[in-house]
Amino acid sequence: MKSLVIVESPTKTKTIKKYLPKGYVVDSSMGHIRDLPSSAKEIPAKYKKEEWSNLGINVDDRYDPLYVVPAGKKKIVTKLKKELKDADELILATDEDREGEAISWHLTELLKPKVPVKRMVFREITKEAIQSALENFRDIDMNLVHAQETRRILDRLAGYTISPLLWKKIAPGLSAGRVQSVAVEFLVSRERERMKFRSATYFDLKAQLSKEDDKKNSFQGDLTYLNGKRLASGKDFDENTGKLKKPDSVVLLLKEDSEKLRDLLNEASWSVTDIDVKTQKRNPAPPFITSTLQQEANRKFGFSARDTMSIAQKLYENGLITYMRTDSMNLSGQAINAARNEVEKQYGEDYLFQRVRNYGKSKGAQEAHEAIRPAGSSFVHPEKSGLSGRQFKLYDLIWKRTIATQMAEAKLEFTNVTITAKKDDTEADFRSNGKKILFPGYFRAYVEGSDDPDAALENQENFLPNMDMGENIDLHDLESISHETKPPARFTEATLVKELEKRGVGRPSTYATIISTIQDRGYAQKAGKTLIPTYTAFAVTELLEKHFPEIVDSDFTSSLEDKLDQIAKGKYDPVKYLDDYYKGKDGLKEKVDQREDKIDPQEARLLDLPIEGLNGMQVHVGRYGPYVKGEIDGEEVTTSLPVDLDPGELSAKKIRELIKAEKEGPKSLGNHPETGEPVYVLSGRYGPYVQLGEVTEENKKPKRVSLLKGMKPEDVDFDLATSLLELPRTLGEHPETGKEVKAGVGRYGPFVLHDGTFKSLKKDDNVLTIDLDRAVQLLKEKGKGSRGSSTIAELGNHPETDKPVKVMTGRYGPYLKYGKKNISLPKGTEPEKVSMGDAVRLIDEKGKK
C-alpha cells in the first residue's frame, strides 16, 4: 500500500520521513496552495466582468470567495496531482491550527482525490508523536476552516474598502487593516503622550553608611521622609504639566534645598529607628506561549517577532520543539515527566517542586494544544543539540523556561532598615534595602530577562550588615542627587506584543506579521529596539479616528476575535458575522459610502500634532513626504522635514528654524578654490550634507556629499566641507594590479574600493585621511562570503520569504545574494545605496524572467 503524505514545508518533509514506515511518500505544499487573487492578472477570465471580481469575494452570495492558484504554486499542484495518481490513500499532515486546517481543505478541493483521505495531526515531530498520529487519524475540522476563511475574508474586506480611501485622501500606496491599524494607533497614542509630556526636576539625598568602626562593609541609604512627610518622587508629578499633583502631601526638594539639607545632615547623629524583615517565595513563570516567547526573545536577544517565529519554525521542523503557534500554557503529562527528570538530573532532588505544577488557562486558548517546549518524552540538552547561533539561543531559552516550571520555589529574604538623621529640629529618614536568596530554586535554571542565571543570582542579592534598633550608624558620604521625570517609554516589539495580547487584538500567531507589516508599510521605523510612528502613521490614524473610529478601537477589534473563536467552535454563523461587519446598518461599506465625500484631502493631510506655540505653522503629509508650512513677513513658506526628524522630536522652535532657513536660503561657506562655485551646508530629507554650487537649469544635480556619522551641520567649516566634496577620493594605484584605489562614503558608511571590491572602514579609520597603504591592508582582509567575495551591506531578511538579503561584491562586480541565489546589480547602480525595497524589486524581476 502506498500513502502520499503532504505537509507544508520541505524541512518538515525531511524530518517526518525519518519516522514513517516504508511505502509512505512525503511531499510539501510549500505553504498555502490557494488564496484570494492578489492582482487583476490572477482573476480568471470568466469572472473579470463581475463587479466583485477585484475584491475576490462575492459579497451578495454568502461572501463566496474566489480562490486562485498563484503562478508560483502551479508546478507544485501538478506535481502533487501526479504523485496522488500512484497513491492508495492521501494523508494530510499540515499544522494543527486554523491555517494548517485550511491548507488541508484547499488541497482536497484542488487535488480532488479518489482515494481515502485522512487528516493526521501532531504537536511535535518525534517518533512517538508520529506513530501516535498514524493510529489516530481524524476528518478535516470544517469549523477551523470556516474560522480561517472568515478571517481571510474579513481582512480582505477591511483592507480593500479602507485602503483605496487612504490613497485618494492622503497618498498612494497606503493600507489599512483590521488589526494593523489598531497596532499603529497604539504607537501614535503613545507618541502623543510623549509629545504632551512636560518634564520636572527634583532632588533627593543618597547616603553612604556603615556600622560604627566597620567602614569596609558600607551600604547605601536613600532619603524617603523629611520631618514625617514623604519626599516627592517621579510618580508625584503630572505628566502634562510637570507640576506636582498634590503639592501639600509631599516635600519637594530643589537643588538649593537639597544642598542646604546635605550640609545640615553632615553634622547630624544617625541611628537605626526601624527594622523590617520579610520572607517571600517566588514561583517560576509559565511555559512559553507564542506571545511570551516573542517578548522574551526580544528582551534578551533583540530578536524581532518575525525572527523569533522563523527560528522557532526551524526548531519545530527539525523535531526539537513542539508547535510554536499556541496560546495554551498547558503542559502534557509527557512534558512534565521529562522536565522533572531533567531537574533531578541537572540540579538534584532538592530543586524539584514537591508536586506537579500546572498553569491556568489563557483566554481563548485551545486546550488540546500545548505550550512551547522541547519535543519528546526526554528533552535534548541544549549543549547536545548540535545547534549554534540564534537557533541555539532560542532552544536554550525554551529548554530552561520549561525546566524551571517544575523546579522548587525560590526563597528570598527582604530587609528594610530605616536610619534617621537628627539635627536640631530636622529629622530625615533614609531607607536601606537588603535582599538575600535563602534558596535559589528555579533561579538556578532560569531568570526572566537574564541570559546567565548564575550572574543573575549575584546581581539579585544585596547584603546589609546585621543591625539592632537604636544602634548608632556612621555617615561616610552624603550626596545631593538630581532626577528628571521621563516621558512614557515608546513601544518595543516586546511591549507592543504584550499590549496587543492584553487588549485581545489579533492572536499570538499573527503578531509577527502585524509588526512586520506596520514597518514595511512605512507606519513605524525602528530606532534600536523601539518602534517610532512616522508622520504617515499620524495622518492615517487621525483620519480613521475621526471618520471610522471602530477600525482603531481595540475593544471592537477584540470582540471580532472572540466571534472568530466562536466560529472555530461551530457556535457562530460566519455569514452573519461578515454581514454584520460589512453590510449591516453600521457596517463598514455603509460608513465608507456615507463619509467618503465628506473627507477633505487637504484636511486629511494636515496633522493635528500636540505641539505648543505653532501659531499658524502647519505640518502636512504630502506625496513626497512630510513638510511644514508657515508665514514670514506675509509670505507663505514651505519646506520639507528631514527624514531623520521624528514627529516626537518636532517643536515650534525647530519648525521656525526650518522655515526661516528655507526663506533665507543657504549661506555660502566660501567659493571652492578650483571651480569658484559656492560651498553650502544644507539639510534635506535624508539628513545634512554639503553641496557644491547652486541648483540651476544647467546644473540640476550639483555634487552632494552627506556629513559623516557624528558630524553636526554647525560644526562644518569651509575646509571640512571641501574635504568632504573631494569624496570619493583617489588614494593611488594598487601595488599588485595597478588599478585605482578610492575612498568614499555610501549608504552604509565609509569604505575603500578597488576593482569592484568594497571594504568598509574600521571604527578608527577616517575616510578623509586614510592612505593607500591602510586601504590595501583593509582590502587584503578576508571578506564574508566565498571565492573572494565580500559583504557591502546586510539588508536583513526578505519581507515575504524571510531569506537573508545581502549586497556583495566579487570577482565580476557587485551583486545581490538572496538565500543561495546571486543576482547581478544593473549597470550604473551604486551598491552601497541599494535598499531592501530595491533588492525586492530586483528579486521579483529575476523571478519573472
* Contact indicator for 394, 315 with CB cutoff of 8 Å: yes
CA distances from 554 to 186, 364, 557, 578, 703 (A): 9, 17, 5, 18, 49
Interstrand relation of 729-733 and 89-92 (parallel, antiparallel or unpaired): unpaired
Strand partners, 281: 411
In three-state form (DSSP H/G/I as H, E/B as E, the rest C), the secondary structure along 288-340 is ECHHHHHHHHHHHHCCCHHHHHHHHHHHHHCCCECCCCCCCCCCCHHHHHHHH
- Rounded CA separation 726/732 (Å): 14
The vertex-286 CA angle with 283 and 287, nearest 5°, equals: 135
Q: How far is CA 400 from CA 286, 288, 368, 406, 447, in A?
A: 12, 10, 23, 11, 9
Judge whether 249 and 237 are in contact, CB under 8 Å.
no
> Any idea which residue has 455603509 for its cell?
590
By C-alpha distance, which of 685, 649, 689 is closest to 669? 689
8 Å CB contact between 815 and 823? yes
Q: Of 534, 527, 511, nearest to 307 (Cα)?
A: 511
CA distance 205 to 613: 37
Comparing C-alpha atoms, which of 291, 365, 386, 316 is closest to residue 7?
316
Return the DSSP state at 93: -
Which DSSP category does 527 fall into? E
What backbone phi and psi angles, to 5 degrees, belong to 560? Answer: -65, -40
CA distance 175 to 747: 28
Q: Measure the CA angle with vertex 374, ends 372 and 375; round to 5°.
A: 100
CB atoms within 10 A of CB 274: 12
Nearest Cα to Cα of residue 266 among 480, 109, 410: 480
What number of other Cβ atoms are within 10 A of residue 230's Cβ?
Answer: 13
- Whether 832 and 792 have beta carbons less than 8 Å apart is answered as yes
Question: Which DSSP symbol is given to 96?
Answer: S
Q: How many CB atoms lie within 10 A of CB 223?
A: 25
Euclidean distance between CA atoms 103 and 67, whole angstroms: 12
DSSP string for residues in 478-511:
EEEEEEE--PPPPPBHHHHHHHHHHHT-S-GGGH
Containing 395, the helix (H) or strand (E) segment is: helix 389-404
Question: Would you name the residues annotated as active-site residues?
Answer: 323
* Radius of gyration from C-alpha coordinates of the chain: 32
Q: Which amino acid is at 50?
A: E
H/E stretch holding 341: helix 333-347
- Nearest to 668, CA basis, from 659, 660, 677: 677
Closest CA to 742 of 733, 727, 731: 731
Q: Annotate 408-434 with DSSP letters as a single string.
A: PPEEEEEEEEEEEEEETTEEEEEEEEE
Q: Cα–Cα distance between 774 and 776 in angstroms, integer?
A: 5
